[in-house]
Chain A
Amino acid sequence: MTKKILIGLAFSPNLKANLHEGIRTANMFDAELITVHVGKKDATKEKDLQNILKEAPTLQKNLKTIWEEGDPVTVILKTCVAERIDLLIIGALQKENLYKYYVGSIARKLTRKAPCSVFLLIKPSVERVPCKHIVVNGLEDEKTPETIKYAFDAANNLGCKRVTIVEEIRPTELDVKVSDDKTLKEATLNKERIEQREDLRVRSILKDINTNDIIVKTQSIFGKRGYSIGHYAKVKRADLLVMNKPQKTGVLDRIFPHDLEHILSELPTDVLIVK
């Protein structure tokens, strides 16, 4: 499924780590890697890059390097379309400050506009950090089965032995507001029912997926949708969070942030957003 991977590179201290991550990811999916350098091509940069590549693990498929000048966001998005990229890797900062939050960083813009799946790395590293626990969303959405399948693919490729499927239950689904003992009892019963129902739904998705060797757990959580899953991933110290790409995010969503915007404002761990 993932044939072509793109990574945008800037000559920052993170360059080496980003490139290593890119190559590893490409090898993992057995895909081609395309690196995009926004800026002028010159001899020293070229040399730096070659040096880094020498130390990096060898890429099994092709490596294509593109140099182009212009606005990073436009260049990368354009390349995504032109090369028919399946997965875009972006190195992100773990925490963004207030100013960036409203203006929107490059990473944020890319995530929002990318036509393909996006892999946000908060801690790119040269050495491989073993991935031990993947958290994936299991909310009721037509994209969810695909996302879960993707998560298990990644788990198999990364040698990850533990996947937790998280169903976020919204307060509105509970239908009862807890105000006294009676409503509390109702709400608790309701909760159990919803948990069972959600569990059943996720299990039916899992039927078609090979889950051998992987410990699968389903967990219902109560909190704000799209945000609490990040919180959960952080509490459980997951190494990767896999999520659906939300329908659309407009101006209103940025003012009243939800789903993706919440995750982007406080990345809990590496995030893979599946288109």
Chain B
Amino acid sequence: MTKNNKFKNFLNEIPQNLFSGFVVSLIALPLGFGLALASGAPPISGIIAAVVGGSIVAIIGGSNVTITGPGNGLVVVILGAITTLGAGDMSQGFLYTLAAIVISGAIMVILGFLRLGSLGDFFPSSAIQGMLAAIGIGIFAKQFHVMLGNANAKGSIVQLLLQVPNGIINYVSTNSTSVLWAGMVGIISLLIMVFYGKIRNKYFQLIPAPMWIVMLCIGLHYYFNLFSVNQYPIDQALLINLPNDVLSNFAFPDFGKVYQLDFISAVISITLIASIESLLSIKAVDKLDSLKRRSNVNKDIRALGIATMVSGFLGGLNVVTVIARSSVNVNNKGSNRSANFFHASFLVAFILLFASQLRKIPLPALAAILVFTGYKLASPENIKKVFKIGKEQLIIFLITLLTTISTNLITGIIIGIVATFVAHVIINKDILLFVTNIFKPNVLMFKEDDKYYVSVKNFSSFLNYTKLKSKIDQIPENEDAIIDFSMCDFVDHSVMENLNDYAEGFKRKGGHFEIIGLDNYNAGSEHPFALRKNTGITTIEENINLTKRQKSLQNVANELTWNYTPTKTIEEIIELPHFGYFKTRQIKKVSNVLSNESCELFDVEFHEGELFAKQIIKATMLYINIDQKVPDFTLDKEGFFEYIYHFTGYKDISIENHPDFSKRFYLSGKDVGAIKTFFTNELVLFFESNKYYHIEANNKGLLIIGRERLAGVKEIKALADYGIRLMPLICEKYRVVAV
């Protein structure tokens, strides 16, 4: 696309981005206030973060449809920082925290320049889930009290949670009208949040739920102002406090505590959470992008860092990429970064035009929005999901969750990482596997037959996932990729989950991404993301958990109306050992059999050599059973000597009138005459015009072999198709000869 064209496109898309930005700003306004309040910071600081973030990241960012602003994850960390750094004085604490925010922004810029966006991959996904749930619980615990009109509840997360029943009793028995009204607004707001999604009315859905809450609050205020004889019943202390002149009253960071330990740990927590939240969101939003673009993560992190620094200097919170607002943006057809910019501009307009109305929003209404967000982060459904993946994941999740709640985020995530590692060691009963191999470059990639082939050795877990990722990232998503784990002893849940994301990405962009070599693995559960350990032996149980490949094979079988059996005993394919190919190779196991009356397509595992020289090989082959007698022969592409040593002594048979065929293929066998009559014009043409396979025939049937490795689903389909088309050629011909 030329530059001119791009600009034209950009102009054409402005209206839709303008609209999308507007809708997002409707959510960003109440959320900005709410998140700032929940963090213990002045409400305007959340809006500053959104405005600064929206404009700076829109200009220099590396992603396309993300929205940036204050984030959920940081609420708990910032609140903690303000409380500890202020030592009782919240407003002084806020100034110190601003300094921490500025420095964390600088660190993010450095991380971006060092291309350390991949650092996020070192966190095991169950531990991250646990940490996010802990953040959710933290938000919920504090905001629940605010929602009921009690803005002064204090204590640790656990204490606040224990106070919840008391809080409800206190509210019911309150005699203050202000608290009563405030609590009612809070509860109604929560109900709006909960039921918003269930009301499927086009006009109602035009305005996002948080904005409904804001509008209802302002409406309530106008009702009391204009129609009611009573005063607005909610006390000033329970309303949002905005500075009188929004444009001049910027708080400025206080760098007085830079060298203190508290400060440093605050900076680390803020940076950690800001990066993780942003990285997760950027990745998630890329999946939503209708134009299937890939974000430049490091560039985005850099932009977020710069935006955070500016925001901090102006008295605003951290700028991170936020998933909820970004998805609203995508749903409203936001198509480029201008939507983010427009969202910021609308926020500025709202604050300047409606400051006096916004001052009437009661805190409980905003708290209700956050209670809902907190619940979402820690919802029981999330826990169920984790449990489905595996028991060990639930344990990791709970350990991280409980440590985070009872100590702090940094300790929580570190314990989570350690717990994950310990779990992996226990599952494998082998620590050496990890210790000896952790620094080894375990991933090999090469391109063969226009397919990218990636082989992974030793083990693949969150510890060395970046190595795998950097290779896969180099594969264009519209190509074919095969990831082979057959040399790998252990694959963990984080890797499986990430690979699944890749598979989706490839599917979206028209490529093909396939994982092979996991069929021998013992999975903890039937969830596709469950970690997998190579057992070496196959369990012949009824209810073994099928791998994704096996499930795809099942589907292929259904499509072809063939039968599929995951495991089979060798005796069932007795013909196999009669083939020359298997004369020197001992068959160990046949599995994943796709079959109809005359064809059998299967994975076979066999030994080559013995003792020291023993090698175990797995390959996919097709066997066609032919009732009539076929002359013994082997057919190979000219030059593929590896297959034919068992037939040495026989010469290349050339078929008359087909010099090209004779030149390209190496055909050998005992009974030259029979072979020559067997190879009719049609058959020769078929072999010439199709993909090359090694073919061996004996009086029992045909054995067709592609490469000497397991085939991907696409290759299996091709092989089956080849067999189906070859069948009639051979049988028909035989009928003619028989007559």
Contact = CB atoms under 8 A, between A and B. Distances in A.
Contact of A180 (B115, B293, B639): B293
Contacts of A98: 432, 435-436
Contacts of B441: 223-224, 227-228, 262
Nearest to A174: B474
B550 interface: no
Interface in A217-239: 219-224, 227-228, 231-232, 234-235, 237
Contacts of A187: 474
B435 A262 contact: no
Contact of B645 (A130, A191, A227): A130
A177 B115 CA distance: 9
B733 interface: no
Contact of B446 (A162, A171, A177, A219): A219
B613 A123 contact: yes
Nearest to A256: B439
Interface string A129-169: 11011000000000000000000000000000110000000
B642 A231 contact: no
Interface string B95-114: 00000000000000000000
Given A179-B297, A215-B641, A129 B613 contact: yes
Contacts of A97: 432, 436
Contacts of B298: 179
Interface in B458-500: 470-471, 473-474, 476, 484, 487
Contact of B615 (A177, A188, A215, A237): A237
Contact of B444 (A130, A171, A188, A235): A235
B299 interface: yes
Interface residues of B, number: 44
Contact of A221 (B296, B445, B609): B445
Interface string B611-642: 11101010000000000000000000001111
Interface string A184-199: 1101100100000000
Contact of B294 (A184, A191, A224): A184
A133 B446 contact: no
Given A98-B436, A180-B294, A161 B444 contact: no
Nearest to A221: B446
Nearest to B292: A181
A162 B435 contact: no
Contacts of B299: 179-180
A49 interface: no
Contacts of B436: 97-98, 101
B447 interface: yes
A104 B448 CA distance: 37
B193 interface: no
A188 B477 CA distance: 12
A227 B443 CA distance: 10
A180 B471 contact: no
Interface in B659-673: none
Given A122-B612, A181-B294, A184-B294, A162 B641 contact: yes
Contacts of A122: 612
A188 B484 CA distance: 22
Nearest to A192: B447
Nearest to B644: A161
Contacts of A124: 612
Given A98-B432, A184-B294, A231-B455, A161 B641 contact: yes
B447 A180 contact: no
B295 interface: yes
A200 interface: no
A105 to B, nearest CB: 15
A178 interface: yes
A125 interface: yes
Given A123-B613, A184-B474, A215-B641, A220 B446 contact: yes
Interface string B204-236: 000000000000000000000000000000000
A221 B476 contact: no
Given A125-B611, A129-B613, A223-B444, A181 B293 contact: yes
Contacts of B609: 123, 129
Given A125-B611, A180-B294, A188-B476, A232 B444 contact: yes
A262 B641 CA distance: 31
A202 to B, nearest CB: 15
Contacts of B202: none
Contacts of A223: 441, 443-445, 471
B735 interface: no
Contacts of B435: 98
Contacts of A178: 473-474
A106 B294 CA distance: 51
A196 to B, nearest CB: 13
B440 interface: yes
B62 interface: yes
A265 B613 CA distance: 19
A185 B25 CA distance: 35
Contacts of B444: 221-223, 228, 231-232, 235
A132 B642 contact: yes
Interface string A228-256: 10011011010000000000000000000
Nearest to B640: A215
A94 B445 CA distance: 23
B46 to A, nearest CB: 30
Contact of B440 (A181, A219, A262): A262
Contacts of A132: 641-642, 645
Interface string A202-225: 000000000000010001111110
A127 B444 CA distance: 32
B446 A232 contact: yes
Nearest to B442: A231
A235 B444 CA distance: 9
Given A181-B294, A219-B446, A231-B455, A125 B617 contact: no
Nearest to B609: A129
B457 interface: yes
Contacts of A179: 62, 115, 296-299
A234 B486 CA distance: 12
Contact of A123 (B453, B476, B487, B612): B612
A55 B442 CA distance: 42
Contacts of B453: 235
A132 B644 CA distance: 11
A235 B617 CA distance: 10
B613 A227 contact: no
Best-buried of A94, A180, A185 by chain B (most CB within 10 Å): A180
A30 B474 CA distance: 47
Nearest to B484: A235
Nearest to B64: A180
B343 to A, nearest CB: 22
Given A180-B293, A184-B294, A220 B612 contact: no
Given A97-B432, A178-B474, A188-B476, 10 more contacts: A124-B612, A125-B611, A125-B612, A125-B613, A133-B642, A179-B297, A220-B447, A222-B471, A231-B455, A231-B457
30 contacts: A98-B432, A101-B436, A123-B611, A124-B612, A125-B612, A125-B613, A129-B613, A130-B645, A133-B642, A177-B115, A179-B296, A179-B299, A180-B293, A181-B293, A181-B294, A183-B296, A184-B474, A188-B474, A215-B641, A220-B446, A221-B444, A221-B445, A221-B446, A222-B445, A222-B474, A223-B443, A228-B441, A234-B487, A235-B453, A266-B440
What are the 9 A-B residue pairs with the smallest beta carbon separation, nearest first? A224-B441, A123-B612, A180-B296, A231-B444, A161-B641, A221-B446, A179-B296, A223-B444, A222-B445
Interface of B: 62, 115, 293-299, 432, 435-436, 440-448, 453, 455, 457, 470-471, 473-474, 476, 484, 487, 608-609, 611-613, 615, 617, 639-642, 645, 708
Interface of A: 17, 94, 97-98, 101, 122-125, 129-130, 132-133, 161-162, 171, 177-181, 183-185, 187-188, 191, 215, 219-224, 227-228, 231-232, 234-235, 237, 262, 265-266
